[in-house]
Every structure is written in structure tokens, then in C-alpha cells.
């Protein structure tokens, strides 16, 4: 009787924003990398809402390409040089072919979460966020505006949710900010905690610390520029826009001009 070759499937569940996603791979090394990268976000007991089957392929050029996200025959297709994912949003199952690097799976997770959130009125925002005194604060801005700086300056009593990608879910009359493992320049994973969103700050580095209110229109324009959404889908794009309008009506938005030192946090409590 001949031997039957078998490859063990390794799985783990990564829960971000209360959304558990199972990742299955044949590679023990890749699994170990995931366990390290998402260590604060692993939930062995959670029932996954999505199941990702990851097939690793040899690396090649093209990971700097723009990502394409489109809906075709009931499936979302996510494509970049280093990544091809096909996700069925009804069954929650996805097959992913990608290079064996963390950025590819990180990209797939960000996009799948952005699609899930969009339907639920939530948002992924290119912003830092932190919890202080039980309240969450979001810091949005273009690259160089100070997301990393304000994260680095956070006092000991502030809990960093992320220095890069903030996760917002609609909850009752407001929004809740969740920690994410999507790290930016600090290369520091956020804490896996959540808190009601108390304010959105639009960051500007300036010679003095100052908080000013902004109009709803300006707030929506700034927020829309910071929202991570890649899909070419008119219904979901409109939904994201409506969520942005809803958020600025429910959450105070301010322009935060700040000097890059710790005193800025005296204004945030």
C-alpha cells in the first residue's frame, strides 16, 4: 500500500473590531508569523464570520502596484502584484494566493474588513486613535500631518488603539473605536480594546497648540480623504459617504493644531 501524502492545515482566528476572521494555511512558518504579528488579536474560541484559505506562492515583482477591488459574479476580487483574493461575502469564504509576507495578508484583511464595515455603517480610517479616561479620540490627517507624532507623544494614561488605521463601528447613537493590529511608522500594534468615540481631530502641525471647531462640510471632506475604501462599487461608495456624513453629525470634529511635544495631550481628555 502506497503512502498517502497529507499536508496539515493550520488555522487561527484573528478578531479585529469584534469581527473574527479565520486564516487557514498549509505553512507552519506562515502561521507562526501570523501568531506573532496579530498576537493581541487572536481568539481561539470565536466563531469566524469569514474563512480565508491562504495559498503561498513564490515571491515576484509587483507588490507596489495599486490594489484593485471589484465585485464580479457574486465575489469580491482583490488583486495586487503580490496578492489575489476571491471572497464570497455571502458564505464568508475566501481563497487567497499571496507571497509569504505579512503585508499581503495585512492588505487582504484591511480590504475585507473595509467591505464588511461599509455595509454596517462603519469605517476604516487612515488615522491614529487612542483611549483616555474611557473615551476614544481619533487623529486624522494626510501623511506627515502628525499621526505618528501624536501617537508617540501619548501620555502613560492613554491607550493607543493604532497609529495608522482606525476601526470605527456604529453603535447606538454614536460610534465605537476599536484597536487594530495595523501598525504604521511606530511599528507598534494597537491595544485590542474599544471605547466610545468622543472626538475626531484633524491634525495640523503648527507653532502653537490650538483646537478649533470645523464646519460639517469641511469635516466630511477631510474624513472622506482619510477613509480607506478601495472598492469600485457605487452602492458601497455612497454608503461610505453617508456614514461619513452621519459620523460628523454625531461626533464633534475639531482642527487640532499642535506643536510636536507632549503638551498637546493637555488639550485631549
Partner 1 sequence: MSAVYIARATTVAARALDGEMMIMSAKDSTLFTLNPVGTAIWQAADGKTPLADIVQQKICAQFDVEPAEALQDAENFVGNLANHGILLVSDEPIAVVKPPAGASQ
Give me the residues that bind partner 1 (CB under 8 A), please: 215-217, 220-221, 224, 229, 233-235, 237-239, 241-242, 245, 248
Cβ–Cβ < 8 Å for 199, 150? no
CB of 207 to partner 1, least distance (A): 28
Q: Which is nearer to partner 1, 154 or 223 (CB)?
A: 223
H or E segment and range at residue 47: none
| Rg for the chain, CA atoms, rounded | 19
CB of 234 to partner 1, least distance (A): 3
Q: Which is nearer to partner 1, 91 or 238 (CB)?
A: 238
Separation between Cα atoms, residue 87 and residue 84, nearest integer Å: 10
C-alpha dihedral sign at 263, 156, 194, 49: positive
Q: How far is the CB of 123 from partner 1 (least distance, A)?
A: 14
Q: How far is the CB of 104 from partner 1 (least distance, A)?
A: 24
Residue carrying C-alpha cell 480594546 = 193
94/220 with CB nearer partner 1 = 220
Q: Which of 68, 235 has the CB closer to partner 1?
A: 235
Classify residue 82 by burial, with Cβ atoms within 10 Å: 0-12, 13-18, 19+: buried
Amino acid at each position: 500500500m502506497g503512502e498517502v501524502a497529507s499536508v496539515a492545515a493550520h488555522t487561527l482566528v484573528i478578531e479585529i473590531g469584534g469581527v473574527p476572521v479565520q486564516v487557514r494555511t498549509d505553512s507552519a512558518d506562515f502561521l507562526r508569523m501570523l501568531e506573532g504579528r496579530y498576537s493581541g488579536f487572536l481568539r481561539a474560541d470565536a466563531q469566524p464570520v469569514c474563512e480565508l484559505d491562504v495559498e503561498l506562492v513564490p515571491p515576484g515583482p509587483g507588490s507596489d502596484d495599486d490594489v484593485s477591488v471589484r465585485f464580479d459574479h457574486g465575489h469580491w476580487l482583490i488583486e495586487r502584484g503580490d496578492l489575489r483574493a476571491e471572497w464570497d461575502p455571502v458564505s464568508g469564504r475566501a481563497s487567497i494566493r499571496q507571497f509569504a509576507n505579512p503585508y499581503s495578508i495585512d492588505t487582504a484583511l484591511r480590504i475585507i474588513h473595509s467591505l464588511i464595515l461599509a455595509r454596517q455603517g462603519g469605517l476604516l480610517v487612515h488615522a491614529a486613535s487612542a483611549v483616555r479616561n474611557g473615551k476614544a479620540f481619533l487623529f486624522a490627517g494626510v501623511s506627515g500631518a502628525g499621526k505618528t507624532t501624536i501617537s508617540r507623544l501619548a501620555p502613560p494614561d492613554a491607550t493607543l488603539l493604532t497609529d495608522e488605521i482606525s476601526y470605527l463601528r456604529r453603535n447606538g447613537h454614536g460610534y465605537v473605536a476599536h484597536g487594530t493590529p495595523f501598525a504604521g511608522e511606530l511599528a507598534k500594534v494597537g491595544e485590542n480594546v474599544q471605547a466610545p468615540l468622543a472626538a475626531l481631530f484633524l491634525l495640523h502641525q503648527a507653532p502653537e497648540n490650538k483646537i478649533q471647531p470645523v464646519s460639517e462640510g469641511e469635516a466630511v471632506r477631510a474624513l472622506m480623504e482619510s477613509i480607506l475604501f478601495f472598492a469600485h462599487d457605487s452602492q458601497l461608495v455612497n454608503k461610505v459617504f453617508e456614514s461619513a456624513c452621519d459620523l460628523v453629525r454625531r461626533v464633534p470634529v475639531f482642527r487640532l493644531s499642535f506643536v510636536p511635544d507632549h503638551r498637546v495631550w493637555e488639550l485631549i481628555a
